[in-house]
Chains A and B, each alone.
Chain A
Amino acid sequence: DTGVSQNPRHKITKRGQNVTFRCDPISEHNRLYWYRQTLGQGPEFLTYFQNEAQLEKSRLLSDRFSAERPKGSFSTLEIQRTEQGDSAMYLCASSFRGYNTEAFFGQGTRLTVV
């Protein structure tokens, strides 16, 4: 297992288009997180899955954002009707369920909305 994998690495899209990103977590991990990072900021929490259940969503996640994790394996993050403010690095992380367990991050998907 080579770690958390995210695809695509880069995505350029026109404003108003829909985009979808994929995350493949470390196989034994049952927790999966999505974060967003903009320039000069640290990653900000978007949403969290335990197995296939989406247990928490940040208020940063507007109605245009939806995430799924069918069968508790890979996850997708879709942004509908993209806006220029959606331009950011989208990071996926996974971890074991448990107390004080570190999260391992993928390389991220860089989204640019033009």
Chain B
Amino acid sequence: DQQVKQNSPSLSVQEGRISILNCDYTNSMFDYFLWYKKYPAEGPTFLISISSIKDKNEDGRFTVFLNKSAKHLSLHIVPSQPGDSAVYFCAASEPFGNEKLTFGTGTRLTIIP
């Protein structure tokens, strides 16, 4: 049972344009959502997060949007840079627990110079 889904295994975007990565979830108990970036042979690096009480969180070039009614979140990267090429994982956790993360399967983003 995949509770967090990233339906696009890969995405290619021209440098300077906007990258939009999508994530859907099925568990309505999730209340905290995170995006991690992963380079080959390295551990995931925390990028940005959003609490369920918000619908948008912005940090520099990165913005995460949350649509609770649709159980959908997206990560926008503007402008996209070659160093953004990596695998991006969406993750979620439930409240009042140990905050273990449930991850999606990832989207490989390739920025084309």
Contact = CB atoms under 8 A, between A and B. Distances in A.
29 contacts: A31-B98, A31-B99, A33-B100, A41-B105, A41-B106, A42-B89, A42-B91, A42-B103, A42-B104, A44-B103, A45-B100, A45-B101, A45-B102, A48-B100, A55-B98, A56-B100, A91-B43, A93-B43, A100-B99, A102-B34, A102-B46, A103-B46, A103-B101, A104-B46, A105-B36, A105-B43, A105-B46, A107-B42, A108-B43
Closest 10 CB pairs of A and B: A42-B103, A105-B43, A45-B100, A100-B32, A48-B98, A107-B43, A102-B46, A105-B44, A108-B43, A43-B103
Contact of A43 (B32, B44, B45, B98): B44
Interface residues of B, number: 27
Interface of A: 4, 6, 31, 33, 35, 40-45, 48, 50, 55-56, 91, 93, 95, 99-108, 110
B41 interface: yes
Nearest to B49: A102
Nearest to A91: B43
Interface of B: 4, 31-32, 34, 36, 41-46, 49, 51, 89, 91, 93, 95-96, 98-106
